[in-house]
Every structure is written in structure tokens, then in C-alpha cells.
Amino acid sequence: MERVAIIGIGQTKYERSKRGETFADLVFEVVTKALEDAGIGIEDIDNVVTVSNDFWDGRTISSMAVTDACGAYGKNVSTVEGDGTFGAFYGLMRILSGSFRSTLVVAHCKGSEGSNHLITNAMFNPIYERIIGLDSISSSALQARRYMEKYGVTEEQCALVSVKNHRNALKNPFAQIAMDITVQDVMRSTMLSDPIKLLDASPISDGACAIILAKEEMAKKVATKPVWVKGIGHSADAYNLGDRDLAEPEALIRAAKKAYQMAGIQEPFREIDVAEIYDAFSYQELLWSEGLGFCERGEAGGLIESGATDMGGDLPINPSGGVISAHPVLVAGLARIAEITIQLRGDGNGRQVDGAKVGLAHGINGPCGQAHCVWILEK
């Protein structure tokens, strides 16, 4: 694969409600920041990929709201409806095709504007599943229990993810929920849908994120230290929840295998220095860690207990605080890429993982992580 780098990033602060700002306002903010970060102008961008979702935005053709604000006038542009990691994947392919030298990828979402239960209920099969009343929380609870029971992972081990990530968030100015809590706090928080409790769950968030991808020749001329794309992969699992064994992150295993092959990674736990994983719920960081091959199946509970994924550990996971500390849907995957970019540049300030050279960013799509996208980045 030809060398492509991330040369600019921009994020809003993630908040519960940005009621004063439109989607266009959020997009303009992060696009401007990303361009400034790279030290280039909109005229240096030759194509754009926007990421948005018509259900979350309450608008058919949700990308229409941000056409002016994303700088797409007179340019080739497209829209991915899915997690930001998938949008970035498309942006990368457009450069690799030889048609473009720089893609601006921007995602936005305002969870505050719609009804989370109704919107996520609409993910499920309209003929067979919606009527039962599933939404993102209850479906994830089905997955959490299945995973925990099959592999003997405990609620306390899941709670450790919440403790670690909310603590990491204290050092991330973009995070929405940053706090020092204990396992007991998590265990005593309101039960939402067994075994998921309030502090096991990510919040509703508003925000946007932009990244700029560029060909090598351009990446070498810009203001920032380029962060190179070394490997990528994505894959999808079956749809009906009953078609899957929810304890088996089949699609993630396939996506990771592809990304690792491309990046030449054989022992991910040893070779990767920092990872940003889509922990919409605490159990997900553990389940996805297994799918990513950081440990054997069922051992992620032990992994977090060992401190290996803490800031000072062998493989710090979610130094940003993760999705559990800010969950603008769709944006969240792109924010994972942005955080890994920050880490590999060495710009992590209070949350810098020392000597990080190789990083992993991960995004999910669909119910219970039906699809996954994995990025390996290198400084």
C-alpha cells in the first residue's frame, strides 16, 4: 500500500448538549481546526467525505446540512453513513485510487436532538425484533451477559473499564465525563438493563471530529508530524441478534486480521503501544480487546486487573477516556483515530503514552458491534 498519512485533526469538546450550534456550526469548527492543525487552506483539500446518520440528525440526506460548512463547494464529495472509521476508510481509498492527494473526513452528531431509544430501536429488524422493544442498551445487555457467562468475566472486571477510562478522561480536555470513581461506585450505580448499570454505559453526546488524510508527498510538506496509515480492515457479522453468538466478536477478529496482516503485526499486544477502542459499554472494551487479539478469549478481565491496559501499563487502552467518556455516535470512531494521532505525535500532554510508536484505533457499526473497523497507525 502506498504511504498515506494523517496530517491534521480537529475536535469539538464533547458535551451533553450543544443547543446553540447547528450541525454546520460543529462541522465548520472542526474543519477549521483540522486545516489550522495541518497548516493548510481549504484550497489544498481536493475531496471531502462527510459522515452523518439520517436517523440521528432527523433528516433525510443529513449531509445536506453541512455541505457549505465542510468546504465541499466545487469539490468531489461523498457521504458515508456509518461510524467515522468507515468514513475515513473511504477517504483513504479515494487517495489510494490515485485520483486525489488529500481527503478531508468530517463526522458530526448531536445525540441531544433525538430520542436514543427510538433511534436505536430502528436499528433492529422491523419485522421480527423491533416489536420486542430492543434498543442499544438492552441489546448490549444481552451481549454482555452472554459474554460474561460464557467466559466467566465478572461485573467487577467490567466496572474496572469504567473506572480506568473515566479517570483517563480527567486529562483529556475534549472528554465529556471525567471523574475519579471506584468499582463500588459503578456496582452501586442504577441498574439499567442487567448486567449494565449507569456507570457501565456511555453518555449521550454532541460533537464533531475531522481528520485530513494526505499522500506522502503532501504529508512531508505540512506543519505537523505525519502519522502513517499502516494497516486497515473492516468486516461485518450477521444481522439478527439470534443469528450470532454474541460472545464471539467474529467480525472484529476478521477486521483485525486484515489490518494486522497489512501492517505486518504478528503479536498485537507486544507490538502495539496504545489503543483506542470503541467502549460504548464497559464490557465492550474487554470483549473487543479479545477480538483484537490482545489476549486469549475470556482473559480480558484478567488483563485489565493486571493493570496492563492502564496508562502506565504495557498496552494502555483509551488514554482519551474512550467512548464511555463521550459518545457522539459516528463521530466516536473518528475521535479514536484523532486520539491515536495525538498520541503518536507525542502531543498527549498529561495523558501521553510514553514512547508510543504504533497505535490502534477501532470503530463499530450496527447493533452489538455487528461490524468493526480497525486502523493501525504509526509515527
Partner 1 sequence: MGQRVAIVGTGQTYHRSSRKDVNGVELIQEATARALEDAGLTRKDIDAVVIGNMDHFEGINYVDMWSIDGNGGLHKPIMKVTTGGTTGTTVAIAAFYHVASGLFDTVLAIGWEKNSESDTTAAIITCADPFWERPTFGGAIAGLATGALGYMHRYGITERDAALISVRDRKNAVKNPYAHLREEITVEDVLNSPMLAYPIKLLDICPRTDGACAVVFASEEKAKHLTDRPAWIHQVSTRHNYTFFTDVDRSGRMPTLYEACMEVYRNAGIKDPLHELDVVEMYTPSSFAGLVWIDALGVCDEGEAVKLVSDGVTEMDGELPINPSGGVISTNCIGATGLIRVAEAAMQVSGKAGEHQVPGAKTALATGFGGCHWSDVLLISSRKPS
Partner 2 sequence: MMPKGKYPLLTVRSEIEQPYNYSLGRYGSKLLKELRDNKRIVGIKCPRCGHVYVPPRQVCGKCFVKMDEFVEVSSRGVLDSFTVVYFSFLDPETGEKRPVPYGYGRIKLHGADSEFLHFLEESDIDKLKIGLPVEAVFRENRTGSFKDIKYFRVIRE
Partner 3 sequence: MVEEEIVYQGRIKVPYTWSVGEYGSRFFYELKENKKFWATRCPKCKKVFIPPRKTCPDCFVPIEEWLEVGPDGSLVTFTIIRYSAQVHPVPAPLAVGIILLDGADTGLVHLIGGVELEEIRSGMRVRPVFREQGKGNLLDISYFEPA
Q: At which residue does the C-alpha cell 465541499 appear?
A: 72
The answer to whether the CB of 244 falls within 8 A of the CB of 238 is: yes
Contact between 345 and partner 2 by CB under 8 A: the answer reads no
Report residue 110: phi and psi, to 5°: -125, 95
Q: Choose one: 70-78, 152-160, 257-265, 337-345; the region binding partner 2 (CB under 8 A).
A: 70-78
Find the shortest distance in angstroms from Cβ 236 to partner 3.
11
Applying CB under 8 A, does 26 fall inside the site for partner 3? no
**Which of 38, 40, 48, 69: binder of partner 2 (CB under 8 A)?**
69
User: CA 102, CA 212: separation in Å to the nearest integer?
Assistant: 7
| Residue 152 CB neighbours (<10 A) | 10
Cβ contacts of 67-72, under 8 Å, gap ≥ 24: 68/24, 69/23, 69/24, 69/25, 69/27, 69/28, 69/31, 70/27, 70/28, 70/31, 70/104, 70/106, 71/31, 71/42, 71/45, 71/104, 72/48
Does 117 contact partner 3 by CB under 8 A? yes
Residue 282, H or E segment? helix 282-291
**Interacting partner of 142 out of partner 1, partner 3, partner 2, none (Cβ under 5 to 8 A depending on kind):** partner 3
User: Are the C-beta atoms of 95 and 4 separated by less than 8 Å?
Assistant: yes
Least gap, CB of 76 to partner 1 (angstroms): 5
Peptide bond before residue 226 is cis, with ω within 30 degrees of 0: no
Q: How many helices (H) and strands (E) does the chain have?
A: 13, 11
Q: State the binding partner of 132 from partner 3, partner 2, partner 1, none, CB within 5 to 8 A by kind.
A: partner 3
CA distances in angstroms from 128 to 145, 240, 272, 283, listed in the order given: 22, 9, 41, 26
* Residues of span 89-128 touching partner 1 by CB under 8 A: 89-90, 92-94, 96-99, 119-120, 122-123, 125-127
The residue within the footprint of partner 2, chosen from 114, 298, 302, 346 (CB under 8 A), is: 114
Query: Under the criterion CB under 8 A, does residue 203 sit at the interface with partner 2?
Result: no
Tell the smallest beta-carbon distance from residue 159 to partner 1 (Å).
29
Window contacting partner 1 (CB under 8 A); options: 216-224, 289-297, 316-324, 364-372: 364-372
Interaction of residue 131 with partner 2, rule CB under 8 A = yes
Which residue, 4, 208, 34, 39, is CA-closest to 104? 34
Using CB under 8 A as the binding rule, the residues of this chain from 38 to 77 that contact partner 1 are 53-55, 58-61, 63-69, 72-77
Q: Kindly state the helix (H) or strand (E) to which residue 337 belongs, with its residue range.
A: helix 331-345
Note the residues at the interface with partner 1 (CB under 8 A).
1, 24, 53-55, 58-61, 63-69, 72-82, 86, 89-90, 92-94, 96-99, 119-120, 122-123, 125-127, 232-239, 250-251, 254-255, 365-367, 370-371
Note the residues at the interface with partner 3 (CB under 8 A).
19-20, 58, 115, 117-118, 121, 126-135, 137-138, 141-146, 149, 190-196, 238, 240-243, 246
